[in-house]
Structure 1
Amino acid sequence: MTKDDGALATAARMIAAGQELDPRSVTTLAPGIPLWPGTAPGSEGWEHQESVFVGSTGALQVRNVVVPTLTPYLPDPERATGAAVIVAPGGGFLMLSMESEGTAVAEWLRERGIAAFLLKYRVGHSGATMADFAQRFVSLFEPVTAGETVAGSVANMDHLAPGLALDDTRRAMALVRERAAEWQIDSDRIGLIGFSAGAFLASNAVDAKDPVERPDFIACIYGGYAEDKTAPDDAPPLFAVVTADDVLCFDETVRLIQAWQSAGRPVEAHLYPIGGHGFGCTPTGEAADSWLDRFEEWLRGLGHLGCPQ
């Protein structure tokens, strides 16, 4: 294990050392709209229970998601621009970072007149107890074989989780389009922002066969393509952010940017020197904190900010 790998494993242990909460005591996470009627396809027979816990930073996290949902954050009608963005938090497909990569982003978008929708997608089963979760989460950051990099440790991941999460993401996109008139949204101005694992979902959502499930623009924050891949010829505009010291998803993000550039598709990319992985909307005191300002400028350039004339 390299020095960076050891640092990641230590960080993982801190995240995994969270405190589980009684779901009845959690009021800051608004109830969402179920994405699927009845049991979500692929979850048949699941008996584990969703769990909410407080991570080492004091932020709420969710694990063992069985029922995927979408929570609307609709702007004041007088400020609404007609644009919408689905927010996909990260968490290694084992948990969801629901605040700094979720509610904070959704509220930020709503304040700017954009309808936001927080996606709670299915993740891998992490056991009944927090001790089970800690063991499984830490294993994501430990090399499977000698000399393997942390980012290559996909053998430690629930192999079903990314596919089910992508199904949920595409279903969320279709649901927002289906109800666009109800939510006063332009059906051809619906984007997707994802963080880490959520960025994987955003970058792969553009491949949906059904146009209704494809985003019109995407933002990938420290995450992208897990392997070499060609961007679609009609890939939507991409906004990407990563830091040079992100030992987990730097390569994946750069790979995504290069794929868009090679395909001749519009891309705006921001590389910051320091920030690590998983900062979301949490201030770090580093230059990477300005990514939201750059994102706002990008959205304005696409015409998604400012009330329509």
Structure 2
Amino acid sequence: MKWIFSIIALFFNTMIFSQNPFTIPVWPNGAKENNGIILPEKIIEGGRLLNSHTAEMYVYLPDKKINTGTAILICPGGGYARQAMQHEGHDFAKLLTRKGIAGIVLKYRLPNGHADIPLSDTKEAMNIIRQNASEWDIKANQIGISGFSAGGHLAATLGTHFDKQNRPDFMILFYPVITMDNNLTHKGSKENLLGKGIENDNFSNEKQISPTTPPTLLLLSDDDKSVHPANSTLFYNELKQKGINASMYIFPSGGHGWGCNTNFAYYKIWQDLLFDWLRHQKFIR
């Protein structure tokens, strides 16, 4: 009977620990640039955050007994106008910790037409994770980035615009915005990022892929009416042209924005595929 109680205690402790993150500022001394948003930050229905003007990280660490040493920086989506912090952020982080992966949710500053601000937050967040990797029981060469929708664009931007220290070791992109091409882009994301009427190919991430772009997994639905699936297929094709390890799973239904919603028909399947891919890439066992 003792072993049964030990298993129950381990499970309980793991769940409690993984659901209580600690919060750290990305810019403890204040960021150099300001996104111009002066309205107070607030959470609305569905756990969506409005008016993000201060970058923070919510760090969920797994129980040491199941820790794989892998970590994922998570960028919630929301068209660069808001952030879906719950089902594309905290819920994903908790799911990861149950598999022994550190989930670190980034509350990035919204661009508000200042295109470089979200990327600067993401670069600094990755720097912070690497600087604290030993203390957090994370392996410095097993730190990836994930993003959903516009957060997927932000994750892919880091994966194609990184500096040496903040290069992610892998990317996991859920129904991402990729291109700024007017025929395929998500117009709201583009306008919120760049400003109305502004064109900037530097943020068409399919055009910024190099042989050092990290391995990438893409997950999306064929019937997505918000972000055209061609964003993902375009990125995948360019990755393969550059010889990058990449996989893509396109579900027949589900639309856009399903994230960690349990009512998504392929909720269990996408998790199995994701963790299988991480094992194949040798980021988990």
Q: TM-score normalised by the shorter chain: which range applies?
A: 0.7 to 0.9
Following TM superposition, by how much is the alpha carbon of 1:117 offset from its aligned partner in structure 2, in angstroms?
0.5
- Quick one: distance in 2 between partners of 1:265 and 1:237? 6
The percent identity for this pair of structures is 31
Structure 1 range deviating more: 62-71 or 204-213: 204-213
State how far apart, in whole Å, the 1-side matches of 2:155 and 2:36 are. 28
30 and 61 in structure 1: CA distance in 2 versus 1, 3 angstrom threshold: farther
Tell me the TM-score normalized by structure 2: 0.79
Aligned match of 1:122: 109
Q: Residue 104 of structure 2: SS of its match in structure 1?
A: strand
1:84 CA displacement: 0.7
> How far did residue 34 of structure 1 move?
0.6
Aligned to 2:219: 241
In 2, are the aligned partners of 1:81 and 1:305 still within 8 Å (CA)? yes
Map of 1:140 onto structure 2: none
Number of corresponding residues: 241
Offset, 1:285: 4.7
Structure 1's unaligned 5+ residue stretches are: 1-27, 125-157
User: Could you tell me which residue of structure 2 aligns to residue 112 of structure 1?
Assistant: 99
Of 79, 88, 113, the residue aligned with 1:159 is 113
The normalised TM-score by structure 1 is 0.73
Distance in 2, matches of 1:241 and 1:266, equals 15
Unaligned segments of structure 2, at least 5 residues: 1-18, 180-203
Give the whole-Å Cα distance in 2 for the aligned partners of 1:244 and 1:51.
Answer: 33
Residue matched to 1:214: 167
Pairing 1:198–2:151 present:
yes
Aligned with residue 103 of structure 1, among 72, 90, 106: 90
Corresponding residue for residue 24 of structure 2: 33
Q: Do the aligned partners of 1:230 and 1:263 also contact (CA within 8 Å) in 2?
A: no
Given that 1:274 and 1:288 are in contact with CA atoms closer than 8 Å, whether structure 2 keeps it comes out as: no
Residue 58 of structure 2 aligns to a residue whose secondary structure is strand
Distance in structure 2 (CA, Å) of the matches to 1:77 and 1:30 = 15
2:40 aligned to which of 45, 49, 62: 49
Tell me if structure 2 keeps the 8 A contact 1:87–1:192: yes
Which whole-Å CA distance do the structure 1 matches of 2:217 and 2:269 have between them?
14
Matches within 5 A, 1:1-309: 32-43=23-34, 46-54=37-45, 59-124=46-111, 158-160=112-114, 162-226=115-179, 227=204, 228-249=206-227, 250-287=229-266, 290-306=269-285
SS of equivalent to 2:27: coil
1:277 to 1:44, Cα distance in 2 relative to 1, 3 A: closer
Contact 2:20 2:60 in 1 (8 A): no
Distance across 2 between alignment mates of 1:235 and 1:107: 27
Please say if residues 243 and 288 of structure 1, whose CA atoms lie closer than 8 Å, have aligned partners that are also in contact: no
Q: Which amino acid aligns with 1:175?
A: I
AA in 1 matched with 2:99: R
Helix, strand or coil at the partner of 2:207: coil
Deviation, structure 1 residue 81:
0.9
**Residue-by-residue CA offset, 1:109-138 (whole Å, 9 max, x unaligned):** 1111111101101115xxxxxxxxxxxxxx
RMSD value, Cα? 1.9
The CA distance in 2 between the partners of 1:270 and 1:233, in whole Å, is: 22
Contact 2:161 2:208 in 1 (8 A): no
Secondary structure (helix, strand or coil) at the match of 2:231 reads helix
Q: Using the TM superposition, give the Cα deviation of residue 296 of structure 1 relative to its aligned residue in structure 2, in angstroms.
A: 1.0
Change (3 A) 1:285 1:108: closer
Aligned AA for 1:240? L
Distance 1:82 1:282 in 2: 26
- Output one character per residue of 1:29-85: Cα deviation in whole Å (capped at 9) or x when no partner: 96621101332232176532111111xxxx211111111101110011111111111
- For the 8 Å contact 2:258–2:264, the answer to whether it is kept is no
Q: Give the secondary-structure state (helix, strand or coil) at the position aligned to 2:161.
A: coil
